[in-house]
Structures are given as structure tokens and as C-alpha cells.
A and B are shown apart, each in its own frame.
Chain A
Amino acid sequence: MKEPFTPRVPRPFVGTYRPRVDAWEKARGKALYADDIATLPRFPNLLYAKVLHSPYAHARIRALDLSAAQALPGVVSILTYQDPEVARLKPTSAGWTDGVDTVSYERMMWKRFRDRRVLGDTAYWTGDDLGVVVAAESEQRAEEALRRIKVDWEVLPFVLDALEAMKPGAPVVHPDIAANNVLPPDAVGGPDVYLSKGDVERGLAEAEVVAEATCAYHNATQGSLDNWCCLVTWDDNTLTCWSNSYETDQTRMHISQMLDLPIHKVRVVSSFVGGQFGRGDTGDQPFFLFTALLARRTGRPVKFRHTRRESFHDSRQPTLYHSRVGARRDGTITALHFRSIGNAGAHADHTLFALKYAPAEVAEAAFAPIPNVRMESYGVYTNKLPACMMRGVGNSQLNLSLGQIVDVLAEKLGMDPMEVVTRNFGHLWEAPPDRSLTAVLREGSTRIGWQAKRHAPGQGPTLAGVLKLGVGFSFHPGWHAEWQEGRRGKIQVAIRLNPDATVMLEAPTVETGTGSNTCNLLGCAEALKFLGIGPERIHMASTVDTATCLKDTVQTDSAVSYLQSEALAVAAQELRRKVLAAAAPCFGLPAEALGVAGGFLFPLAAPADRRPLQEVLWAGDLVPIAVTLSRPPLAAKTGVPFMANFAEVEVDTSTGRVRVLRLVVVNDCGTVMYASGAEGQQIGGQCMAVGESLTEEIVYDPVKGVPLNFNWIDYQIPTMADIPDIEPVLMEVWRGGGEYGACGIGEGVVTCTPRAIANAIYNAIGVRVDDLPFKPEKILAALGRV
């Protein structure tokens, strides 16, 4: 039995350890996902769509010969780039929205980088969708039809590496957008030097100690088990799309705008989703559109689903970071400079979100006390698979650099890196040392045994002749305080109180696994404590359907855990007023003279004359008492919480193998909304981060530009046997605004781990390996053994 988290304010529902609300459905295999709905028993008339993928890293279709495919029995329709309904579709991006707010075509976030054509004639990476999509009676028949299509390819030169792509004369990926492959500055991301405060060069000149470092983050992939899937019907001018997208309102807007349909004629349904992790950036994916066009053409339901290989469709952005820091001897940082080069892959989408937008937010939240800061970045098109969001957007890459330069500087100063951190980092609204940052570092260092285990780099004991141990850490600001969620617009919720004192809760959000539905149910029960009910008397649908639901709160920033609960806390007060008004006739008193608590109504002047809520409700008109609320997130700037990660590793200096022995993950949550779910996020984040740190990497054939390991044998995701001892630590130090003042942690829990492991490796062997993943050959090379 491990030590449970103790909440700052004990509550009956919020912050508790308990099973998830969907645990039974999922443990019994009853939970339905898009692929379970799009099956023959439910849609006997189903057609299957398969799209052409480029065998080349960069190529254009000169001509197509469809005759052999058209002659194949079971092929129902073939749609190509030459068909008018395809050719007239506007150029688009998979980065319309950051997945927070709903936006129209004209208001898409990165409108300068509309580099995607739906079924265009050109492929920009090996595996890119293009040109032709087939609808057939079976998946196998559709695949066979694709094989029979004769494509006359114009093979174009390609480039995979970002630095190569920046050189004069390199093959140009999107000449109309970026003549030298470097994404031009735009209104949202800002100039190349996207943040400049003070004078960095002067700050460096004035410094007594200067350090610099470089590191490289690689191409990992989200790897959701539930491959992208959609099923589209288009009957009587209404298009219905079942999918495993994590956003319904935005998907509806995307389809409506691209296919020129009124919003009310587009219905989007998402049920359970088997993992999201940032795949598809925000999900404005072309396959929704060509599947829809096939459904209209054929008049039949059409299913499009990625195979596992096709699910290697997005990735975390490979990024090179170079950092410089200057400090006085006492450890005060005088200047900080980050320069990054991100490999966008074939499509820009949210590249500049990862390279500029999110790091600028980190600067606001963590670099405020440093007088001179410069941050500059370059996003570069290449012919790799698109790369951007993956459980965070740019945070992991920035952290790999931040935690590195702190460690390098601390060693030069002869200081404990934790002291360097608490002395220099924090946000605008609290002078250092930041309470939250200090608390997570103290807790983590105690739990890992920092004082006892940390030694001079490489100077620890050698075990069994070849094993070296080390510890390391990294830290990062949270970025999910409510004030940071203003872009979402209003959060919508509804509560209906039935006459038997049960509740219908509407707090739509697509449950991708994060536990948001459980958080909403606990938040609702907490807000409705005065009704004397618990979660078992509250119904909440697990399916989000735009035909019947309010706008869904999108599963990004992991902020759903509290945003809807904050709205429910307000809605519950409105419900309380309505309950008292409904009870007034029963008591023969004005509503203002009544109270309600613990499921009883009573005159405030005579609390003993109480009557059960149900009795009063049954005496009324039996119409449910309803409250619908649209409420913007609170805008008051309340600072940010911090997190820290500590790692202990063992490095075998004869083989180069790194074993992570132990991870301690500490999150200041403001308020823990659901303890079991939060610990699940902490532990799960470590599992993903261990994979990214040690084994996961997309490997390309550099000669052909072809990715080599789009499968789960060669792209190695950790299993239970690969996972170290993980200690999740929940804290409540910082507090945001509102009823709970919570923050999201779901992305942050993978952010610091690779750097914590890298610093632990350095502590163990005394040489730095700063190129993810930390594979044995890199360790041996660093040790001079190969």
C-alpha cells in the first residue's frame, strides 16, 4: 500500500480515490468505439474506403489509369483529384484550431500555411494520402483496386533533414509557401525571434559564468491503439459522421465549411475514443471529406479506417535546440537564449505552435525573473511525416533543452541544480523562490533520495564491474491554469433535476481515456451536495452527438478535468435558486425564506421543519428543473503551478544499455479533481516518456526517404516488462481562481522525463548524451567504446 495523497480541502467527491465511471463498461468490453459502431451487424450495407499512399517521399501524379480497378467486382466508386467535387475543395490544414476553440475556415490558426489538398496530385512524404480513393464492398477489395490502378509518377527530389532542407539548392517542399523550406513568419507565431526581452548579448557579456548546450528531440509517434476511423452517411441532405475524433463541434465546423453545408445538416458523433495523445494535430483531417464525398456518391454508409501502418500519420516534432545562459557566481542568471529548428515534416499544421506559441507561454510562466531572454525559432518543411502535437505541443522539446542548460550551468557554478532553478525561475506574479516550484522540487528530491544518490558526474561507485548509477531531474511550469484557457470561449453545461431527485448531467466532452467524464460526474455531485445525492444518482451520456448536445469541451490541455466542473459549480447555484422557488408553494413561504441542504428543504427560520427534497418535488408539476449555462473561463491571472520529474538510472558501460530504475513524478495540481485519474495520468505519462527516451523512434531509409518501422514490432512501445518503479506524487500548493483552482497535468507528465533521464545518465557516466532516444550505440559512442 502506497501513501495516498491528502487533499488541502477534503471533499466527499472531488479529489477522491475511486473507480472510473466507465470502468465497468470498459472492463467488460461493452464500451463502443467508432470501429465497433462501423461494423456489418449495424450497417449491413457498409462500403469501405481506401486511399492511395505515395511510395515515394516526394512525387506527383502525371496520369492515372483506373480501368483495371474499375473492372474489379466489388468496386463501387473511385474518386480522384480530377473529379470536380474534389478539385473545387479549398486548400486546407490540419491545424485549423489548437483544439481548444471552434474556428471557421477564415479564422483557422495558421492560415498562411494551408498546404494540404484533399486528394491532391502531389505527395510530400512516403505514405502521404493523395490522388485516389476507392469505395468497395470489402477492405480487401478496396486495397486490391488500389493495387490495380496504374499511376504514372513524376518522382521529385526529397529532403529529410531540417538542416539539409535549409541549405541553398535543397529540394523545395512547398515552393508557394516557403521558397527555402523555412516557414515564413506569420501573424500568430510572430517573427523568427519571437520573444525578446532586455539585451541577451549584454547579459552574457556581464555574466561571470557562461554555458551553452545543444540537444535533439526525435520523431516519436502518438500510437493510439484506436486507429483513426470514421463512418459517414449522407441521406436526405444530412451528413452524419461517426468518428473517433476528440472534438465534435470543430469536426462539424470543418465538414460544414469544407463541403459548404449548413451546420445543422452536419451531425458528428463521437463515442469512446481509444487514446488521442495529440494525433492529427486538431483533427481537421482530409479523410473526413473524401469519405463524405464517397458516401454522397454511393448513397451508402462508407467507412474509412487506418491500418496500424497508416496510423503512423503524425508524430512529435523532431527539434534541435541550442541554448546559451549567463550567470553571476552566486547563481543569478543574467541572460538566457534558446534557438530551435523544428522539422515540420511535409505539412506545417501546428509546427509554429510547438516552436513559438507554446514556448512563449512557457517563458511567461517560468522565465519572468530573468532580465534578458531571447527565443528564436525556425520551422522547416521536409519530406518526413507531419510532426507536431504529441501529448503536449513543443513542451517536451523545450524541456529537453531547459533542463540541460540548467544542469550544465549548475555544474560550472559548482551549485546544486535545484538551487539554480529556485533562484531564477518563476512567473510574473510571484518573486522567486516560487512556492510551487520549491515545493515540487523538495518533495521529489526527498523521495528519490537526491542527497544520498547524487554524486559528481561519473564518480559514483561501479557495480559488477560495469554498472554505473545516477540521478537527475527536470522541471516545467504547468500551462493549464483557467486564465490560460480563455481562447476556448464559453464552456457549456446543463443540469436537469428529475422529480425523484436524480439528475441528468450534460457536460459534453469526448472521453479519450483521460477520465474527463469521471471528473465531470464528481464535479457535478460535489456541486449538488445540497441535494443529498452522489454520482450514482447522476446520469451522463458517454457519447457526444452534435444533433443533441451542447458544444463539447475539447480534450486538449487536459483542462476538461476542471473547466466543466467550474461551470457546474456556478450552474448548481442557479439550480439551487430554482429548487427553492419550486418549493416555495409547498411551504407557503417565499423562496428567500427557504434553505436546502443534504437533500432536505427547510424554512431558514425553522430548520427543524424540514421536508425531504423528493417529497417536495413529487408534489410539484413533475417537470424537471433545468439549468443551462454558458460561462467563459475565469480571466484573472493567478500564476501557474509547477511540476518536476526525478529519475534514477543504471547504465551498463559494457553494452550501453540504460535501465530506468525509478521515476518520481511530482505535480502541483492546484486542486486534485480525481485522485485515481490524476495518478493514472502521472504513471501513464512516465510509460510513454520511457518509450520516447529509450526505444521509440521512427527510422528512415536515407537513400529512398522511406520510413522503415511503421509497425509495433520495430517501433518499440514499452510493455509492462519495460516499466520501472513509478512514484506518482500529487500536491496542492498553487491555487487558481474559481471554486477549485485546479490545472491540467496530462501533457506535462511526459514533458520532463526525457531530460530527467538524460541528466541521470550524465550523473552516472560523466559524459552527456543529449540526442533522444538514448539507445545503447549512442551511450557507447559517448563513452568512446565504439
Chain B
Amino acid sequence: MASVRRESPGLGGQTGVRSPERIRLRVNGAWHAFQVGADLDPAMTLAWLLRERLGLTGLKVSCDEGACGACTVIVDGKAVLSCMVLAVEADGHEVLTIEGLPKDDPVIEAFAEQCEPGYGTALQCGYCTPGFVMTARAFLNQNPTPTMDEIREALSGNLCRCGCYAGIARAVLHAAEKIAARGDRR
């Protein structure tokens, strides 16, 4: 069943739990600065900042308590639940959202293309998809040649209520094949 297995809630690093007056974070390659108080309440999450201040609505906030994985983004190379991270904790960190992946990212391609007979598609309603893509992207960065058991373990923190797990697992396998074929280990 759903389990929280990623880095949360704190990111550690430079800022710890101190609330700075001004934060800077790098999102999809570009630095952004925010005034705490004026631009955001210090209690706001990274998910809120990304969606409501930067318009990056790819990530979804579904459970808002770290149980579903729909809000997953990559921070400093690791999959992170952005609903469980305060925006101020992201100060100084590098954030990658699904909008920051190239269109030909092998994980995106594999999720979109999955129609191998017997496994269904890798997405239906699509609401969980960005979270799965980012979890899979971070996972394949660390383990580009996973076994099926490793895939099931790595993706078991994300919920898909449409139940596309068989298609998603195939998509991750195919993404790994694409990565190997391209020699692409970003």
C-alpha cells in the first residue's frame, strides 16, 4: 500500500529550518527569487509555489500529505514530494518539474507510446502521470538498467487509481531501453 519513501519533508542543505526573508531557487534551469511575506506565506509548500507562482501545473496536488506521489518533482537529482516541502526549504536548491524535461525525454516518450498488447496504456486519466514520470526519471537516473522487481519497488509510492500499473511498468522498462540505446544518462 501507499508508502512515503522519498526525501521529505526537509531537504537539508544550506537553509535547514530557518525561514529566510528572500528565497532563490533554480527551477528548470532558471533562477527565481521570492520575497517571503509579499510573494508567499512561509507556510506555503513548494508545490504551491510551483503551481500558483510559476504556473507549473504539471505536478498535481491530490492528497497534500505525502501519500500519493502526484506532486513529485526532482530536487537536486532526487524525487521529492513537493507537497511535503515548504517553499522556503527549497531556497538555494535546483528543482526540475515535468515542464523542464525535453519533449523527447525517454521516460515521457515511453509513457506516451505504451500500447504493447497485454499491458494496456501507461496512463488513462493522466492525473498521476507527471508524478510517475518524475519518479521514474529520478529512478532511472540512479538505476538505468532496472529489473521488474526494482521498478515495482521504486514506483510503489505513487498511486494510479485508473490502475495502469502494468502499462507503467512496461513504459519504465522501455524507457530504460531507450536510455541504453541513446547512451543517455543525464
Q: Give the B-binding residues of A (Cβ under 8 A).
A: 1-5, 17-20, 22-33, 35-36, 39-42, 138, 140, 223-227, 272-275, 277, 307-308, 512-515, 675-677, 679-688, 695, 711-713, 716-723, 726-728
Contact = CB atoms under 8 A, between A and B. Distances in A.
Interface in B107-166: 108-109, 111-130, 133, 151-153, 155-166
Contact of A688 (B97, B129, B161): B161
A717 B159 contact: yes
Where chain B touches its partner, the secondary structure class is loop
Contacts of B52: 39-41
Of B62, B70, B126, most buried by chain A (CB within 10 Å of CB) is B126
Among A32, A225, A272, A273, residue most surrounded by chain B Cβ atoms (within 10 Å): A225
B60 A26 contact: no
Nearest to B54: A41
Given A28-B103, A308-B62, A726-B166, A272 B118 contact: no
B125 A226 contact: yes
Contact of A683 (B54, B155, B167): B167
B183 interface: no
B53 interface: yes
Interface of B: 1-3, 41, 43, 51-55, 57-65, 67-68, 70, 97-99, 101, 103, 108-109, 111-130, 133, 151-153, 155-169
Given A1-B117, A19-B114, A307 B60 contact: no
B1 A39 contact: no
Contact of B125 (A39, A225, A227, A687): A225
Which 5 A-B residue pairs are closest in the complex by CB-CB distance? A29-B58, A2-B118, A513-B125, A687-B163, A274-B127
Contacts of A721: 152-153, 156
A680 to B, nearest CB: 3
Contacts of A42: 55
A41 B55 contact: yes
B40 to A, nearest CB: 11
B124 A513 contact: yes
Nearest to A676: B115
B116 to A, nearest CB: 7
A661 to B, nearest CB: 15
A336 B108 CA distance: 53
Contact of B118 (A4, A27, A226, A713): A4
B161 A720 contact: no
Given A676-B120, A680-B167, A717 B129 contact: no
27 contacts: A5-B117, A17-B116, A18-B115, A19-B112, A22-B126, A23-B111, A23-B122, A27-B111, A27-B123, A29-B129, A29-B130, A29-B133, A35-B60, A224-B127, A225-B127, A225-B161, A274-B62, A274-B125, A275-B125, A308-B64, A684-B164, A688-B161, A712-B159, A717-B161, A719-B165, A720-B151, A720-B168
Contacts of A4: 117-118
Contacts of B62: 225-227, 274, 308
A684 B163 contact: yes
A645 to B, nearest CB: 14
A722 B157 CA distance: 11
Contacts, number: 225
Interface centre among A277, A307, A677, A713 (most CB of B within 10 A): A713
Contacts of A716: 1-2
B145 to A, nearest CB: 19
Nearest to A684: B163
Nearest to B1: A716
Contacts of A683: 119-120, 163-167
A188 to B, nearest CB: 31
A308 B108 CA distance: 27
Given A688-B163, A719-B1, A273 B121 contact: no
Contacts of B156: 719-722
A711 B60 contact: no
B60 A723 contact: no
Contacts of A722: 1, 156
Contact of A684 (B2, B55, B120): B120
A728 B118 CA distance: 6
Contacts of B98: 28-29
A686 B108 CA distance: 25
A156 to B, nearest CB: 31
B177 to A, nearest CB: 14
A722 B159 CA distance: 11
Given A27-B111, A680-B121, A711 B63 contact: yes
B127 to A, nearest CB: 3
B123 A719 contact: no
Contact of B115 (A5, A17, A140, A277): A17
A28 B28 CA distance: 14
A632 to B, nearest CB: 29
Residue among A5, A223, A273, A683 with max Cβ neighbours from chain B (10 Å): A683
A720 B155 contact: yes
A308 B124 contact: no
A713 B126 contact: no
B37 to A, nearest CB: 14
